[in-house]
Amino acid sequence: MIKATINNVKIEVPEGTSILWAAKKANVNIPTLCFHPDLKPGGQCGVCVVEIEGIPGLKRACMTPIGEGFRVYTHTQKVMSARKEIVEMILANHDSDCLTCIKNNNCELQTLAATLGIKIVEYAKLEEKLPIDHSSISIVRDPNKCILCGRCIQVCSDVQSVNALAVNHRGADTVIGTAFSAGLGNSVCINCGQCVVHCPVGALYENSSVEAVWEALHDPDKFVVVQEAPAVRAMLGEEFGMPPGSLVTGKMYAALRRLGFDAVMDTNFSADLTIIEEGTELVSRLKSGKNLPLITSCSPGWIKFMETFFHDMIPHMSTAKSPQQMFGALAKTYYAQVKNIDPAKIVSVSVMPCTAKKFECQRPEMKASGYQDVDYVLTTREIGRMIREAGIDLKEMPEELADDIMGEYTGAGTIFGATGGVMEAAIRSAYFLVTGRELENLDIKPVRGLKGIKEAEIDIDGTKVKVAVAHSGAQARELLEKVQNQMATDGKCEYQFIEVMACPGGCVGGGGQSWGSNMAKRARRGEALYAEDKSMAHRRSHENRSVQAVYEKFLEKPNSKKAHELLHTHYMKRSLVDGKVINE
Measured in whole angstroms, the distance separating CA 410 from the mean position of its chain's CA atoms is: 22
Both 80 and 220 in one domain: the answer is: no
Residue 250 lies in a domain: yes
Which of 281, 382, 499, 532 is flagged as catalytic?
Answer: 281
- Rounded mean pLDDT of 272-277? 96
pLDDT in tens, 436-448: 899 888 999 999 9
- Domain of 9, CATH number, reads 3.10.20.740
Comparing C-alpha atoms, which of 430, 558, 507 is closest to residue 228? 507
Residue 134 lies in a domain: no
Residue 131 lies in a domain: no
Residue 219 lies in a domain: yes
The contacts of residue 97 (CB under 8 Å, 6+ apart) are none
Measured CA to CA, the distance from residue 453 to residue 178 in angstroms comes to 29
The total of structural domains in the chain comes to 2
Residue 467 lies in a domain: no
For 249, list phi and psi in degrees, rounded to 5: -55, -60
Active site residue 357: yes
State residue 352's pLDDT score: 98
Residue 77 lies in a domain: yes
Which of 318, 348, 517, 541 is flagged as catalytic?
Answer: 318
pLDDT in tens, 229-274: 999 999 999 999 999 999 999 999 999 999 999 999 999 999 999 9
Both 229 and 378 in one domain: the answer is: yes
pTM for the model stands at 0.94
Domain boundary among 61, 90, 119: 90
In the structure, how many helices (H) and strands (E) does the chain have?
19, 19
- Rounded mean pLDDT of 561-577? 91
State residue 579's pLDDT score: 56
State residue 460's pLDDT score: 85
> What rounded mean pLDDT belongs to the chain?
94
Using a 10 angstrom Cβ sphere, with 0-12 exposed, 13-18 middle and 19 or more buried, the burial of residue 195 is: buried
Using a 10 angstrom Cβ sphere, with 0-12 exposed, 13-18 middle and 19 or more buried, the burial of residue 418 is: buried
Which of 59, 145, 332, 357 is flagged as catalytic?
Answer: 357
Active site residue 360: yes
Active site residue 507: yes
pLDDT in tens, 399-430: 999 999 999 999 999 999 999 999 999 999 99
Measured CA to CA, the distance from residue 564 to residue 561 in angstroms comes to 5
pLDDT in tens, 472-482: 999 999 999 99
Residue 52's domain comprises 2-90
The percent of residues in the chain predicted with pLDDT above 70, rounded, is 99
- Domain of 375, CATH number, reads 3.40.50.1780
Measured CA to CA, the distance from residue 163 to residue 477 in angstroms comes to 13
Active site residue 199: no
pLDDT in tens, 4-59: 999 999 999 999 999 999 999 899 999 999 999 999 999 999 999 999 999 999 99
Collapsing DSSP to helix, strand or coil, 344 comes out as: helix
Which of 298, 361, 493, 503 is flagged as catalytic?
Answer: 298
Measured CA to CA, the distance from residue 97 to residue 91 in angstroms comes to 11
Q: Where are the beta strands (DSSP E) in 173-279?
A: 175-177, 204-206, 223-228, 263-264
State residue 173's pLDDT score: 84
pLDDT in tens, 73-118: 999 999 999 999 999 999 998 998 899 999 999 999 999 999 999 9
- Rounded mean pLDDT of 133-147? 96
Which of 365, 389, 481, 565 is flagged as catalytic?
Answer: 365
